[in-house]
Amino acid sequence: MPDKDHIKSVEKCFLILDCLHNGRRLMTLDEITQTTGHKKTTCFRLLKTLRTLGVVELSPDTKKYQFGPRLAALGLTALKNMNLRNAALPILQELRDETGETVNLTILSGSEILYVERIMSDYLVNVNVNIGDRLPVHCASMGKVILAYLPEDRLETILPAISFGKKTDKTIVSRSALIRELEQIRSKGYAINDEELEKGLRAVAAPIFNYTGEAFAATNIAWTTARHPERRTFLEYAGKIVSAAEKISRLMGYTPG
């Protein structure tokens, strides 16, 4: 017998959210309609409601839908029990104790990175970022390193959504410049941020892979030029962050090919 308490419209909303999640890309109304099998008018009304609630967002340029900030905020409670965070935390803490610098953990969320953990330095790091905050991928070391290891088709769905806002005079401000940097990142195995997000702030990041081999998260070490003005710090910390990311990846089930 059908459950009289089962609300079909709620089920349809979750089918749309699953569609965006499983597709792992921004999708148009027509694509969502085709994937879910619902009527276009039904999908439009449900998406409009989800937009009003902040659960999904519609890009005015591409007319494509993606997850919204409220969905990320609702998920923060679950992040405390998230396998990634639980697995990474001891490794991040050890790295923070070894370097004395702030160590961060993020996941990819649309054209942004979402902070899921921060192990703070005892010293001042001149950027006001908290767990649950988001940053554009193009001006963050963790964002760039995830992009560098995404499959080409997935990368192509994200690049059009990047606004390339300028944070400092060193920020990457064009698609072509970002693509050139992604090539360099793949050749080195890590990404740096040399005052691209905020003046006086540097970082080095490495990708974290899941059991399917997908780069879905990243970790970095962040420090100030006031503490370490010399550029050799990038190389000194690069090996440490790559090693930490590899350990976390293995805990996520990743086996290098």
Per-residue pLDDT of the chain (257 residues), as tens digits, is: 456 667 888 999 989 998 887 766 789 999 999 999 999 999 999 999 999 998 999 988 889 999 888 887 776 555 544 688 889 999 999 999 999 999 999 999 889 999 999 999 987 655 678 888 899 999 999 999 999 999 999 999 999 999 999 999 999 999 999 999 999 999 999 999 999 999 999 999 999 998 888 899 999 999 999 999 999 999 999 999 999 999 999 998 888 86
- The per-residue pLDDT for 52 is 92
Q: Nearest 5 degrees, angle CA 106-CA 107-CA 111?
A: 110
Within this chain, do residues 38 and 95 fall inside the same structural domain, yes or no? no
- The per-residue pLDDT for 8 is 87
Domain that holds residue 133: 73-251
Q: Looking at the 3D structure of the chain, how many domains does it have?
A: 2
Neighbouring CB atoms inside 10 A of 248's CB total 24
Q: At which of 50, 66, 82 does a domain end?
A: 66
Please indicate, yes or no, if residue 256 is contained in any of the structural domains.
no
How far CA 79 is from CA of 37, 103, 118, 222, in Å, comes to: 31, 17, 13, 22
The CATH code of the domain that includes 49 is 1.10.10.10
Within this chain, do residues 52 and 130 fall inside the same structural domain, yes or no? no
- The per-residue pLDDT for 167 is 93
Within this chain, do residues 46 and 114 fall inside the same structural domain, yes or no? no
pTM: 0.70
Tokens, residue 203: 């970082």
Within this chain, do residues 61 and 144 fall inside the same structural domain, yes or no? no
Task: Evaluate whether 129 touches 142 at the Cβ level (below 8 Å).
Answer: no
**C-alpha to C-alpha distance for 104 and 101, rounded to whole angstroms:** 10
The CATH code of the domain that includes 102 is 3.30.450.40
Within this chain, do residues 81 and 60 fall inside the same structural domain, yes or no? no
Please indicate, yes or no, if residue 2 is contained in any of the structural domains.
no
**C-alpha to C-alpha distance for 221 and 223, rounded to whole angstroms:** 7
Within this chain, do residues 132 and 242 fall inside the same structural domain, yes or no? yes
Within this chain, do residues 92 and 152 fall inside the same structural domain, yes or no? yes
- The per-residue pLDDT for 81 is 45
Within this chain, do residues 44 and 163 fall inside the same structural domain, yes or no? no
Within this chain, do residues 22 and 134 fall inside the same structural domain, yes or no? no
**C-alpha to C-alpha distance for 196 and 81, rounded to whole angstroms:** 32
